[in-house]
Amino acid sequence: MTIELGPLGAYLTAADATAADAVALEDTGYSAIWLAASPAADLLAAERLLDATDRIVVGTSVLNVWQENAEEVADSYHRIEAKYTGRLLIGIGAGHREINAGYTSPVAKVASYLDVLAAAGVPADRVLLAALGPKMLRLAAERAAGTLTLQVTPEHTRRARKALGPDKLVVPGHGVVLDTDVERAREAARAGVRPILGIANYATNLRRIGYTDQDLTEPFSDRLIDELVLHGDEAAVAAGVHAELTAGADHVGLHAMGEDPIGALRAVAHVIHDKQ
């Protein structure tokens, strides 16, 4: 059975995430921590956070299928699952042509990676795909627990839910800037997403859901920035999370920007939980 997630998750960089961060987020009501920046196949970063906590789920967002050996990932999954049953999710993704040497057919590569995980006994309902386009979404519907995505909008979430049906996980992620000065917040948001918007996979997906070349050309439109990065006070960010849940998300991952990301994540969670 697929692990059930609460509505709110937090993104932390695998190399920087600490046990204290994980405990603080669990105590604030987060149900999952997503380890960004392609954690290593040994999954030691995930195990370290599970060692420190009691309930929170830890997932990878995402393991790069061109870089991390599938057999080692499977071995790591079984090692951790034996200790922390039902608290580990494996998010995998096909990387990007601009970054990964040898990049060819992403769907074929992910499918072959899934073959290896399945042969090694990793349950499909513990695996999520970073699925943006229709072919990868179809693969997620057929062979995984669902989809785990960044740099998307509620419109993409609606399309993902339709493609996956009612029983699969749809887990979008958003940057967060807690700042009520709109222009300053947008400046920080633009700095955060600028490197990503230069990657063809993300830009193509955003065009697919209605954004134009003008939106995607520096300095990027306010409309685009406001949908990709939730900003304002805690209530404004909470409203953005609610919009994703209304669009069909099961769970929303938040990546806080700024000097105190854990403080920002906790502040947002308090508002969201107070409204439930």
pLDDT, tens only, 124-157: 999 999 999 999 999 999 999 999 999 899 999 9
What range defines the domain where residue 262 resides?
A: 8-275
Taking CA atoms, 152 is separated from 4, 198, 270, in Å, by 22, 15, 24
**219 prior amide bond cis, ω within 30:** yes
Query: CA distances (Å), 211 to each of 121, 147, 155, 246, in order?
Result: 41, 22, 11, 21
* Domain total in the chain: 1
* Domain assignment present for 269: yes
Q: What is the CATH number of the domain that holds 117?
A: 3.20.20.30
Question: What's residue 38's pLDDT?
Answer: 82
- Structure confidence at residue 100 (pLDDT): 54
The answer to the question of residue 2 being in a domain is: no
Per-residue burial over 161-179, b if 16 or more Cβ lie within 10 Å, else e, is bebbeeebbbbbbbbbbbb
88 in a domain, yes or no?
yes
Start-to-end CA distance of the chain, whole Å, equals 26
**pLDDT for position 97:** 62
Q: How far apart are CA 104 and CA 43, in angstroms?
A: 26
Question: So what's the pLDDT on residue 201?
Answer: 85
| 1 in any annotated domain | no
- Which one, of 52, 112, 46, lies nearest residue 81 by Cα? 46
pLDDT at 200 (0 to 100): 86
User: Domain for residue 24, yes or no?
Assistant: yes
Low-confidence ranges of the chain (pLDDT < 70): 1, 96-104, 275-276
| Residue 198, pLDDT score | 84
3 part of a folded domain: no
With both helix axes pointing from N to C terminus, report the angle between 134-143 and 106-119 in degrees, rounded to the nearest 10: 10
Tell me if 49 is assigned to some domain: yes
Residue 1's pLDDT is 62
In-domain check, residue 201? yes
